[in-house]
């Protein structure tokens, strides 16, 4: 069974640009979570999508947004990029209470 997949693996942008990150959950999982992990820090919850709807979001500005499409894949958009947005962005899908993570997208903002 394929795990959670994310693309791209690496992304380099400059300040002010927009970044779009993509995630495909494990087949049959309808919930997708996004986390930000800055270097040396813990996972910070960004967004939770389920059945195509945004169900919860963490304490991040509105320039961090996303969506979930009918096949349960998800996109994370970060607008007006700032240097502090440089981090590993992890997507997870959930079965029961357990979240299964994708390999992440490493975003570097120059």
Partner 1 sequence: GQNIDQPTEMTATEGAIVQINCTYQTSGFNGLFWYQQHAGEAPTFLSYNVLDGLEEKGRFSSFLSRSKGYSYLLLKELQMKDSASYLCAVSFATGGFKTIFGAGTRLFVKA
- The footprint of partner 1 (CB under 8 A) covers 4, 31, 33, 35, 41-43, 45, 48, 50, 55-56, 88, 90, 94, 97-104, 106
Choice between 17 and 27, CB closer to partner 1:
27
User: What b/e sequence results for 11-24 when a residue is b if at least 16 CB atoms lie within 10 Å of its CB, and e otherwise?
Assistant: bebeeeeebebbbb
3-state secondary structure of 85: helix
Q: Would you say 60 or 101 has its CB closer to partner 1? A: 101
| Residue number, 66 or 104, with CB nearest to partner 1 | 104
CB of 47 to partner 1, least distance (A): 10
DSSP 15: T
Alpha-carbon gap, residue 59 to 7, rounded angstroms: 24
How many Å from the N-terminal Cα to the C-terminal Cα in the chain? 37
* Least distance in angstroms from the C-beta of 79 to partner 1: 24
Min separation Cβ 18 and partner 1, Å? 24
Closest CB 97 distance from partner 1, rounded Å: 5
CB nearer to partner 1: give 18 or 27: 27
Measure the CA–CA gap between 14 and 18, rounded to whole angstroms: 9
Give the residue among 60, 63, 80 at the shortest CA–CA distance from 14.
80
């Amino acid at each position: 069974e394929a795990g959670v997949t994310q693309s791209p693996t690496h992304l380099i942008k400059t300040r002010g640009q927009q970044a779009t990150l993509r995630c495909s959950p494990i087949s049959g999982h309808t919930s997708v979570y996004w986390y930000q992990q800055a270097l040396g820090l813990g996972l910070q919850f960004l967004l939770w999508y389920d059945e195509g709807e945004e169900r919860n979001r963490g304490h991040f500005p509105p320039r961090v947004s996303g969506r979930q499409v009918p096949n349960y894949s998800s996109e994370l958009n970060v607008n007006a990029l700032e240097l502090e947005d440089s981090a590993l962005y992890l997507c997870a899908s959930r079965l029961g209470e357990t979240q299964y993570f994708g390999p992440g997208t490493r975003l570097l903002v120059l």
